[in-house]
Chain A
Amino acid sequence: ILNVEQSPQSLHVQEGDSTNFTCSFPSSNFYALHWYRWETAKSPEALFVMTLNGDEKKKGRISATLNTKEGYSYLYIKGSQPEDSATYLCAFEGAQKLVFGQGTRLTINP
């Protein structure tokens, strides 16, 4: 069973503050690491798909880094806004399967 762990499980952040959270995954049989954003009552939507060690991706105020040798990825949100409130999922892609972590639930306090 693949172990994909996210921390913390939940996070409350003041509007305007920056935050980050972690995804750890197996370092063997690695193909890609995905990040998804999941708003309540909606379906998960992709943020990033990263494949190379040292990869950095950015979309607006959200960015992510990847370390495949040690098996972790960070997601950063700069200057949090209320619309950033969501659950953020990472997923490890290996051997044709996409296995998700349990998610980090982010709440932005106005």
Chain B
Amino acid sequence: NAGVTQTPKFQVLKTGQSMTLQCAQDMNHEYMSWYRQDPGMGLRLIHYSVGAGITDQGEVPNGYNVSRSTTEDFPLRLLSAAPSQTSVYFCASSSPEPRQGRRTEAFFGQGTRLTVV
């Protein structure tokens, strides 16, 4: 059972470099989200998607892009890395329950620890 898979687990970038954090899920979940975790701030929502071809901004979207071309994959792109983007990034997926108008519990990847120097 793979669940939600994030790669890489660790990454060091120089300021100004770009990179893509990968997230894939094999549970056929429609909803996928990216969060960042910073000390004392819990998980903050960066971007989310409710299905292939649909994405929207969360609380802290600046400096990040996403796309959702397939149900399985939801990559997060850092266009020009800044030290303020040093954080641990989590991808999560869940599925809607149409009868109840809500989603099931979210399943998380193992996280990507990113350092920007």
Residues of A within 8 A of B (CB): 1-2, 6, 9, 31-32, 34, 36, 43-46, 49, 51, 89, 91, 93, 96-103
**Residues in A whose Cβ lies below 8 Å from that of B50:** 96
Residue of chain A at shortest CB distance from B51: A96
Interface of B is mostly: strand
Verify A98–B45 contact, CB threshold 8 A.
Answer: yes
**Residues in A whose Cβ lies below 8 Å from that of B43:** 44, 89, 91, 100
Complex alpha-carbon distance, A36 and B33, angstroms: 16
**Residues in A whose Cβ lies below 8 Å from that of B31:** 96
> Known: A43-B90, A96-B50. Is A34-B40 also a contact (CB below 8 A)?
no
What 18 new A-B contacts, CB under 8 Å, besides A43-B110, A43-B111? A31-B101, A31-B102, A32-B102, A34-B106, A43-B108, A44-B43, A44-B108, A49-B104, A89-B42, A93-B102, A97-B45, A97-B48, A97-B56, A98-B33, A98-B45, A99-B45, A100-B42, A102-B40
- Report which of B42, B56, B107, B108 forms a contact with A103, defined as CB distance below 8 A: B42
The A/B interface has a contact count, at CB < 8 Å, of: 65
**Residues in B whose Cβ lies below 8 Å from that of A32:** 102-103
Verify A93–B59 contact, CB threshold 8 A.
Answer: no
Residue of chain B at shortest CB distance from A104: B42
**Residues in A whose Cβ lies below 8 Å from that of B2:** none
- B residues 56-99 with Cβ under 8 Å of A? 56, 58-59, 90, 92, 94
